[in-house]
Amino acid sequence: GESVGLHLPTLSVQEGDNSIINCAYSNSASDYFIWYKQESGKGPQFIIDIRSNMDKRQGQRVTVLLNKTVKHLSLQIAATQPGDSAVYFCAEIRPGGSYIPTFGRGTSLIVHP
Amino acid sequence: EAGVAQSPRYKIIEKRQSVAFWCNPISGHATLYWYQQILGQGPKLLIQFQNNGVVDDSQLPKDRFSAERLKGVDSTLKIQPAKLEDSAVYLCASRTRPDPGRTGELFFGEGSRLTVL
């Protein structure tokens, strides 16, 4: 079946480096893609989303890139900080539904001071 | 602004026992979701409410799981009888209407961690 998945389960970076977290999706009809951050013991927190008619969107220290040709989504975090350590999920919203995000498995980002 | 409140935070039960989780969404949020998150996986939707009506419960194992939101505010998720594979974090989330600028923004509670022995 179609699903949202991630390339790497764990990513380790040094404080100050840029981080890139990748996500592959298979449902070409999805309208929106979202990145969530989940810290230990907490619920997921919205970071940024992007419409399917865009290829890039920037927020504060984060950039999401969407490549519809290869069905690939990435989250770039600039100047990664220890507080960025968390599990990051990409999610998709499929058309025809009630805007319910479908989550992938997640990537654990570990930032070393 | 107060966030989504959930209780209890932790619960340990034996298989075949029952358990109930409670959620109070952010004030004014008409839409409420229950997700199940198994360790190492992303959250999986169980049920969606719009006010006090069920919008989608297609992934709710109805033979053992039930949920209600009688007055359109707080909600209860019940499991009876519990199985070992129900061990997970149960997340409640809410939002107002979908905002075109932030369609994916759900507000999650901290979750209720269930361990079934």
Residue-range domains of chain B with CATH: 5-116 (2.60.40.10)
pLDDT band at A2 (very low <50, low <70, confident <90, very high): very low
Put simply, whether A89 touches B (Cβ < 8 Å) is yes
pLDDT for residue A70 is more than 70? yes
Residues β-bridged to residue B78: B20, B66
Between CA B110 and CA A79 the distance in angstroms is 27
Percent of chain B surpassing pLDDT 90: 76
Please answer whether residues A32 and B104 qualify as being in contact, where contact means their C-beta atoms are separated by less than 8 angstroms. Answer: yes
Q: Tell which residue, B11, B33, B13, B31, has the closest CA to residue B21.
A: B11
What is the end-to-end Cα distance of chain B in Å, rounded? 37
The shortest C-alpha distance from A15 to chain B (Å) reads 25
pLDDT band at A1 (very low <50, low <70, confident <90, very high): very low
Model pLDDT for residues B85-98, shown as the tens digit of each residue: 999 999 999 987 66
Model pLDDT for residues A4-39, shown as the tens digit of each residue: 554 458 999 999 999 999 998 878 888 889 999 999
pLDDT for residue A48 is more than 60? yes
pLDDT for residue A94 is more than 90? no
Residue B110 has its nearest CB partner, among A32, A43, A98, at A43
Question: Other C-beta atoms within 10 Å of B23: how many?
Answer: 26
Q: What is the pLDDT of residue B99?
A: 59
Between CA B108 and CA A65 the distance in angstroms is 25
Domain parsing of chain A, residue ranges: 4-112
Average pLDDT over residues B68-78: 93
Put simply, whether A86 touches B (Cβ < 8 Å) is no
Percent of chain A surpassing pLDDT 90: 67
Token pair listed for A48: 């940024």
What is the CATH number that goes with domain A4-112?
A: 2.60.40.10
Q: What is the pLDDT of residue B96?
A: 79
Q: Tell which residue, B90, B7, B93, B5, has the closest CA to residue B49.
A: B93
Average pLDDT over residues B50-66: 93
Model pLDDT for residues B30-48, shown as the tens digit of each residue: 899 999 999 888 999 999 9
Q: What is the pLDDT of residue A6?
A: 44
pLDDT for residue B101 is more than 70? no
Question: CB pairs below 8 Å between A and B: how many?
Answer: 65
Cis before A113 (ω within 30): no
Average pLDDT over residues A46-71: 93
> Is A105 within 8 Å of B40 when comparing Cβ atoms?
yes
> Is B103 within 8 Å of A49 when comparing Cβ atoms?
yes
